Amino acid sequence: MPNWVTRAFEGVGQALGRRGDRTAAAEVRNGNGFSGREALYAAAVHSWSLAFLSTDRDGIVTGWNAGAENLFGYGAVEALGRDIEAVVRVADPEAAGTFRDRFCVGQRVPNLATVALGKDGTPIHLIFDISPLRSVTGDHVGASAIARDVTEQRLAEELFGLAVEASPSGMMMIDRSGRIVMVNREIERLFGYHRGELISRPVEILVPEHMRGVHVALRAGFARHPESRKMGHGRELVAMRRDGVEFPVEIALSAVQIRDGLLILAAVVDITERRQTERLKDEFVATVSHELRTPLASIAASLKLLEAGKGGELPPLAQRLVTIAQLSGERLTRLVNDILEIEGIESGSLRFQFGPVSLRATAEQAIETSRDLASQAGLTLTLADSGPGDVWADADRLVQVVTNLLSNAIKFSPAGEEVVLAIDEDDNRVRLSVCDRGPGIPDEFKTRIFSKFAQADGSNIREKGGAGLGLSIVRQIVERLGGQVGYEPAGGGGTVFFVELPRPTAMEGAPASESGPLAAVSVETPGAITRNR
């Protein structure tokens, strides 16, 4: 508070205190008893909308301006000469005495928060700044105070606090040094601690010991680049309860800038149930895989032996029936394989072996694999002249991508047409495109074309024999390979589907391969399955 105000207020207080006159406030307004300048100051203070008040050393009110009148509901005439307790009625009776003492002890008390009842009984959240008043000779004569009404702010804070407290996600705030500064009820429930046991402790007490080093590094990384993100995204983060039991969590982080620096807000979700569901799904898939493939294996092998004449020569009609059964069996096998494939990609359990791959060689291999299918449909497959199209990818998965694109093109192109593959490259990316002669993609289907089990309405897909998984697998694999997939109308009808992949030079410094299975596996796996389709 500027000196002149203090002095002016002190003057008012002394004058009123000396005279003990309840009508003094009116006189103050007229400047009675003061020099012209002091009277002006006193009048100014009195008219402020901010609440000013003063007491003598015994807590008797000696000053009460218009702001105080508005705030507490007592006029100056009512307030002056009364005990501060009587006009600033502290809501908590136990705190009332302490509050009064603050005015009597002769010390500065900044930011004293309290709740007082107004004259009409309404609770008012207040912040007081109390300063001792001294006479011109330096004697302690009382105290002056400014009171700010923070009721609305407090209510907003209270609502916010209730929302955080009731949040179904665990919420906590951590300071830059990793110490917990706030937790909500869900955090207490998740981790089995009372909040008093967590506040000011390093957040690592909630992390299993074997992961604490990693966690400190992750936290430091976030503090350096504090963009909001999910900490557990794509990675299983493990948390530890008070009883030592570990559980998987997903954590979303946000940086919160406050006056004293950076705080990290962490929303913690227990994903134990989600993980259990995923495990159940994996088991289910493995079982389905076995239970469906075993009878399929018998059907396919029997038909194949019959078709090969191992059961004796078949009359033409029987031969045709065997062929139909065989094609249907192959289709069912492909469907089971596709479902397993997509499940493997989505769950991340399918490992990719990255390395330099020639897209042209890949296209040639896929054309070879698809040639029978194409000739059955009366189509020719052509690879346009192109360079090697070196990319950074998993060779086997890439063959699968091109094979699926070819399969799609073959399904939708009328007999007698040509499906053309082309490879174009620039400095960073290589594009492989497959141009079909199909009817094009209906507008209403465009948003779903790469989704699982997506089939255009009214299409003759049933007779084409697809489950709507091929393009979905293409997209998932290409995205895992760091590329992108798309389509555009082909000049002269039909559609061009394309994939774009990074060149090896664009991936310098990338790991040579994902940690994964032995090199021999890539020979055994997809090749073997493809041969048997």
Partner 1 sequence: MGDLRILLVDDEPFIRELVEISLGLDPEIAVKSCASGREALDEADLWLPKLVLLDVMMPEMDGPQTLSRLREKEATARTPVVFMTARAQSRDIAHFLTLGVVGVIPKPFDPVGLANEVKRYATPGDMDLRGAGSI
> Which residues are at the interface with partner 1 (CB under 8 A)?
286, 289-290, 292-302, 304-305, 308, 310, 329, 333, 340-341, 344, 349-351, 516-518, 520-521, 524-526, 528-529, 531-532
**How far lies 288's CA from each of 228, 275, 283, 294, 332, in Å?**
40, 20, 9, 10, 13
Q: Give 221 or 517: the residue with its C-beta nearer to partner 1.
A: 517
Indicate the pairing of strand 380-383 with strand 418-425: parallel
Q: Give 122 or 532: the residue with its C-beta nearer to partner 1.
A: 532
Q: Give 265 or 299: the residue with its C-beta nearer to partner 1.
A: 299
Integer Cα distance of 504 and 399 in angstroms: 17
Q: Give 310 or 462: the residue with its C-beta nearer to partner 1.
A: 310
Q: Which pair of tokens denotes residue 240? A: 């530890």
Integer Cα distance of 263 and 256 in angstroms: 5
Closest contact distance (angstroms) between CB of 525 and partner 1 is 4
Q: Give 6 or 353: the residue with its C-beta nearer to partner 1.
A: 353
Closest contact distance (angstroms) between CB of 319 and partner 1 is 16
Closest contact distance (angstroms) between CB of 298 and partner 1 is 4
Closest contact distance (angstroms) between CB of 392 and partner 1 is 20
Closest contact distance (angstroms) between CB of 172 and partner 1 is 37
Dihedral sign, Cα of residue 189, residue 193, residue 199, residue 201: negative
Integer Cα distance of 184 and 351 in angstroms: 39
Closest contact distance (angstroms) between CB of 517 and partner 1 is 3
3-state secondary structure of 115: strand
Closest contact distance (angstroms) between CB of 410 and partner 1 is 22
Over the range 101-133, which residues count as b (16 or more CB within 10 Å of their CB) and which as e? ebbbeeeebeeeebbbebeeeeebbbbbebbbb
Amino acid at 517: P
Q: Give 281 or 351: the residue with its C-beta nearer to partner 1.
A: 351
Closest contact distance (angstroms) between CB of 531 and partner 1 is 7
Q: Give 184 or 362: the residue with its C-beta nearer to partner 1.
A: 362
DSSP state of 260: T
Q: Give 134 or 304: the residue with its C-beta nearer to partner 1.
A: 304
C-alpha closest to that of 240 among 269, 205, 215, 289 = 205
- For residue 267, the cross-strand partners are 171, 252
Nearest-10 Cα torsion for 352, 358, 361, 366: 40
